[in-house]
Structure 1
Amino acid sequence: METRTSNALSRELGDALRRARYRAQLKTNTLLAELGWSAGKLSKLETGTRNASTDDIARLVGHVRAEPEMYEHIMALAHEEPSGHYVRPHGVAMPDSLRMLILHEQMAKTICGYEGFVIPGLLQTADYARALMGDAEGAESAVATRMARQKVFDRPLGPRGRFYLYEAALHRVVGGPQVMYEQMLQLLFRGGVRLIPFTTTLPRSLNSPFTYMTFADHFPVTYVECGPVSLFLDTFESTKAFQRSCNDLARVALSEEQSRSVFAEWADRYDRLREAKFATEGEVA
């Protein structure tokens, strides 16, 4: 693969190369001397901004003695064409370990998320995420990873999050009244969350959920989850389309203050439901 400018694929490849080098615990000067490379070449390759042939990549992976699984993963990325749309498989509702997702969330300047029927992953409580994943294999590990992803907003220079939520997600009971009550409180106090009510006529651009990420030094990336796979896009055409979608979201959504009022009403509603459930179960017991 020839990488002429930074793109989502070249950055994922660079991240994999950097992790392979770190695992090897090989001194950088020793590695550069063996390869005959400059420090600048290695740095640009690992950040996805350097031309790189598959032979160069194979040499680097060989020198750091990457494990077979890591070697195969890196070489698969090296041979993948930079098409501007990249499919990555994962478990249903469990994309949290995708390196392309984690890498770009950590690099993002802004993250604009839109969901129609569930609370966005970056806003979920642990219990909500756990109930959503059910008894799927590896669910508990995925919950922990999702909670770790949320810490990106706690960093001093972390991304600015803007989240838009269709009202249907508030009606969908995930995990029971107690879980939903705590989730409503999360939305109420989180900030940067705006609700799109049922009464709003949705433009066609908002038919499907998505996450749109912008960066200081390169083109935006859009992430779309589709069941057991996720799609990452960074073409000019997709960028313009999702920019319009973000503008549409800002136009049709309630203000943050109005949204908080709705979240407070739903928190009160689920609070009454959980108390009624507790009282009923107590009587039965």
Structure 2
Amino acid sequence: MTKPSGTPRAVALGAALREVREAKKFGLRELSRALDLNPSLVAHWEAGTRIPSIEDVSTMLGFFRVIGEPKRRIMDLARHLRDPNWMAAGEAELTPELTTLLQCEQGASTITNWSLNIIPGLLQTPDYARAIFEVGLTPQQADARIRVRLDRQKILTDADPVIYSAIVSAHAIDEPIAPDWVMSDQMDHLLAMTGRANVSLRILPRQQHWHPGMSGSFVLYQYRHRNPIVLLEQYSTTSFLSSDKDWGPYQRLAKLLAEEALSEEASRELIAEAAR
């Protein structure tokens, strides 16, 4: 049985099943014929918009002879697909939650990002990203993370780019995360990105009072045909929220922060000043 989905686990499972199929060099129709399935149904599974049964997932993995840890990980996703939220922890370069993040971004029509302390990942330069990743990671791991980050950024510049709205705290502009020349280049990059019609960047000035955004950064992914997903990232834990009671407050918080933020023009002036 299938039903409309779009939960974080369904998105992660779909990505995992597609990776298995492509690794075995099977086309979508070729696999569908081999397993006597409707190609559009399999496409929905891979997109995370429909839920396959545990038996269907097991059959597909058996067909491709997937065993060991990869099978255990995928079957664990299949057993908990209907959970609307997902908290995951990991340290590998391409963890399941990072794969899910990539899928959330690729399918979104609109992304709203509130960033409290750093420049959002989709707007980071390689040098700025390296200043973050080189703390606690090996050079090889940092390189892998940077490659993934740069690849992610293509959703802002491809032929049909996502609508991206970022509200960034003034702390992120002022914080000397990297050497001066890196920070200056980063500010120049922000100015260049704000010239794109699909990108909105606004700075939230330092507040004289507490506001809910101080509780932490978040990303809100919105879609044309399924519920939004909220991403929360901490030091070693990533949470995806997709139940109505969870993403609704973040929509309201994004609106509240937008009301307090500088205009786009005033934000560009502040960023240009920081670039000098």
TM-score, normalised by the number of residues in structure 2: 0.88
2:154 to 126, 151, 159: 151
Q: Which residue of 2 aligns with 1:198?
A: 206
Q: Which residue of 2 aligns with 1:111?
A: 111
Q: Structure 1 residue 5: deviation in Å?
A: 2.2
8 A contact 1:165–1:193 mirrored in 2 = yes
1:214 to 218, 222, 240: 222
1:186 to 184, 189, 192: 189
Q: Structure 1 residue 194: deviation in Å?
A: 0.6
8 A contact 2:93–2:144 mirrored in 1 = no
Q: Structure 1 residue 38: deviation in Å?
A: 2.6
Q: Which residue of 2 aligns with 1:89?
A: 89
8 A contact 1:3–1:49 mirrored in 2 = no
Q: Give the root-mean-square deviation of aligned CA atoms.
A: 2.3
Pick closer, same or farther for the CA change 1:200–1:164 going to 2, 3 Å: farther
CA distance in 1, matches of 2:10, 2:94: 24
2:178 maps to 1:170: no
8 A contact 1:115–1:209 mirrored in 2 = yes
**Counterpart AA for 1:6:** S
Q: Structure 1 residue 157: deviation in Å?
A: 1.7
CA distance in 1, matches of 2:92, 2:36: 44
8 A contact 2:204–2:261 mirrored in 1 = yes
Name the count of aligned residue pairs: 267
Q: Structure 1 residue 244: deviation in Å?
A: 0.2
Q: Structure 1 residue 27: deviation in Å?
A: 5.3
Larger radius of gyration, structure 1 or 2?
Answer: 1
CA distance in 2, matches of 1:38, 1:94: 30
8 A contact 1:170–1:266 mirrored in 2 = yes
1:36-66 Cα offsets, whole Å, 9 max, x none, are 3232332232233334221111001111223
Q: Structure 1 residue 88: deviation in Å?
A: 2.3
2:254 to 246, 258, 261: 246
Q: Structure 1 residue 127: deviation in Å?
A: 0.5
Structure 2 gaps, min length 5: 195-199
1:256 to 257, 264, 273: 264
Structure 2 counterpart SS, 1:173: coil
Pick closer, same or farther for the CA change 1:258–1:200 going to 2, 3 Å: farther
8 A contact 1:97–1:145 mirrored in 2 = no
CA distance in 2, matches of 1:146, 1:198: 28
**Counterpart AA for 2:211:** P
Report sequence identity in percent.
28
TM-score, normalised by the number of residues in structure 1: 0.86
Q: Which residue of 2 aligns with 1:129?
A: 129
1:142-199 Cα offsets, whole Å, 9 max, x none, are 1111111111111222211111111111221122111111111112222111101114
Structure 1 counterpart SS, 2:52: coil
Q: Which residue of 2 aligns with 1:61?
A: 61
8 A contact 2:116–2:213 mirrored in 1 = no
8 A contact 1:3–1:10 mirrored in 2 = no
User: More displaced, 38-47 or 205-214?
Assistant: 38-47
